Each structure stands twice: as structure tokens, then as C-alpha cells.
Chain A
Amino acid sequence: MSRVAPFIVVLSLASGRSATAQTAEPAPFDPVASVVMHPRCMNCHQDDSPRQTDAALRHQPLVVRGKNGHGAPTLPCQTCHQATNTADGFVPGVATWHLAPSSMKWEGLTKRQICEEMKDPARNGGRRTGAQIIEHMKVDPLVLWAWTPGAGRTTPPISHEQFVKALEAWVSAGMPCTETTNSRRSLQ
């Protein structure tokens, strides 16, 4: 047994180095994208009508954006959506329930396009600094709702705390929108 052990160690080191060489480092925006592209966020960053479920089905009953994202005058969002989730969570709610502004539509955009949009004050709700973007993501009740959606709805793949840390890392890196980088260079 003792004769075999050194051989195994050498193999392990070799395979470890090989794995590292082929591992792609996630771009700073990747963990942010894992949240903002999740259905709990995407379903309301839409054009004319919000979506429901992880399959992005058109909202039932049919509702429309209206002038300000709060629905048509005949059927505003708050007709059904209360200050909290109701009906055992089946009707989701926060006090300001509404669609994201049209300028902040994410539906149909790529990860990189969403990243670019999030940096653009004309398309991110007028937020001019990374700190303002982080603050929005930290405290906006609609953002926070994504982690307490009720009725067994799925939540983003990372916690809100991890999301904020990922945002801070992205902002610290200069808010890059580059695709996944490869770590091979670090071995050279």
C-alpha cells in the first residue's frame, strides 16, 4: 500500500492543475445576472404585460402596463396585489406592486445587454452611480420580495446577502459587462 501512495499523490496534483487550467472564472456580472434574469425579476421587467410562473406565462387575468406601470385605470395592480402576499401567498404583494418602467425592460435581452442597461441612467431608473444601483437592490421592497415570493415560487439561486455582495464586487470592478473569463492566464 505504501508503494502506491506516492503515485496517487502525483496523479492528484497533475489532475488538479489540469482542472484549474480549464476552469473558467465567472465574470463579475454573472452572479448578478443569475438573480436579475430569474423569473421573479424578469416577470415584471416586461413590455406591456407582466408574466407569471417560471414559464413566464402571460398574467392571468390579462392586465396591461397602463400609463405608469401600475395597470389600466379600470384594473390597477393594487386591485388584487396588497401590501403583502395574500391568499396563502398565491396573490403576491408589496405596497408598491407594479411593472418596472418600460425603459427598464429586460425581457428578450442578453445578459450583456441587461448589464449595459443596468449601468445606463436612462434605462436604470436614473441611478447614476454604482452605489445607487446597490442601494436600490438592497432596500426596494419589490427587489426583496423575490426572496419571499410565497406559494412555493422559486427564488433566485443566491441569497439576497450574496446578491448584494456580488453587486458590490461588480461595482468595485468597474461594472464590466464582459462575458465569462478564462483563468488560464493566471497559470502562465
Chain B
Amino acid sequence: MSSSLPDIGRVTTSQIGGLKIRLARGGRSDGIPILLTSPWPESIYAFRGICPRSRSLAH
């Protein structure tokens, strides 16, 4: 198993509504906003196949 993680964008946390929310941001800032909500009970890395494709829409 590879020790490197797939590229899903910049993974960070943000304080939202009193909760520390883990999220990933990627793509162009002037592109079409696409929001992928929590894949609970999975990791946000469950979107690893979608994130690169969604970047291509962001132009």
C-alpha cells in the first residue's frame, strides 16, 4: 500500500458553527463552485476519484 495520499486538493480544517470541520479545497478560485458534502462514514479521500475530474469543470 502506498504511504502517499491521493491528491484531493489542500486538506485543512476550518472552524464552522463551533465545530472544527476537516475539508479539502482545490481547483481554480474563479471556477464553478462545486461542494461535495461529507461522505460519512468514510474519509474525504473517498472523493479521490472525483476531485481531479471536478477540477476540469472549473474553467
- Tell me the A79-104 residues at the B interface (CB within 8 Å): 79-80, 82-83, 86
A79 to B43 alpha-carbon distance, docked (Å)? 9
A84 to B40 alpha-carbon distance, docked (Å)? 20
With A73-B5, A74-B5 as contacts: A83 and B20 at CB distance below 8 Å: yes
**Chain A contact surface mostly:** loop
**Chain B contact surface mostly:** mixed
Number of B residues, CB within 8 Å of A = 11
What residues make up the interface of A, taking CB atoms closer than 8 Å to B?
A: 60-62, 72-76, 78-80, 82-83, 86
What residues make up the interface of B, taking CB atoms closer than 8 Å to A?
A: 5, 13, 19-20, 22, 40-45
Chain A residues with CB below 8 A from B19, complex form? 82, 86
Q: Judging by beta carbons under 8 Å apart, are B20 and A75 in contact?
A: no
* Minimum CB distance partner of A80 in chain B: B40
Q: Judging by beta carbons under 8 Å apart, are B41 and A78 in contact?
A: no
Q: Judging by beta carbons under 8 Å apart, are A82 and B20 in contact?
A: yes
The distance from the CB of B9 to the nearest CB of chain A, in whole angstroms, is 14
Chain A residues with CB below 8 A from B41, complex form? 60-62
Known: A60-B41, A61-B41, A62-B41; 19 extra A-B contacts, CB below 8 A, are: A61-B40, A61-B42, A73-B5, A74-B5, A74-B43, A74-B44, A74-B45, A75-B42, A75-B45, A76-B22, A78-B13, A78-B22, A79-B22, A79-B43, A79-B44, A80-B40, A82-B19, A82-B20, A83-B20
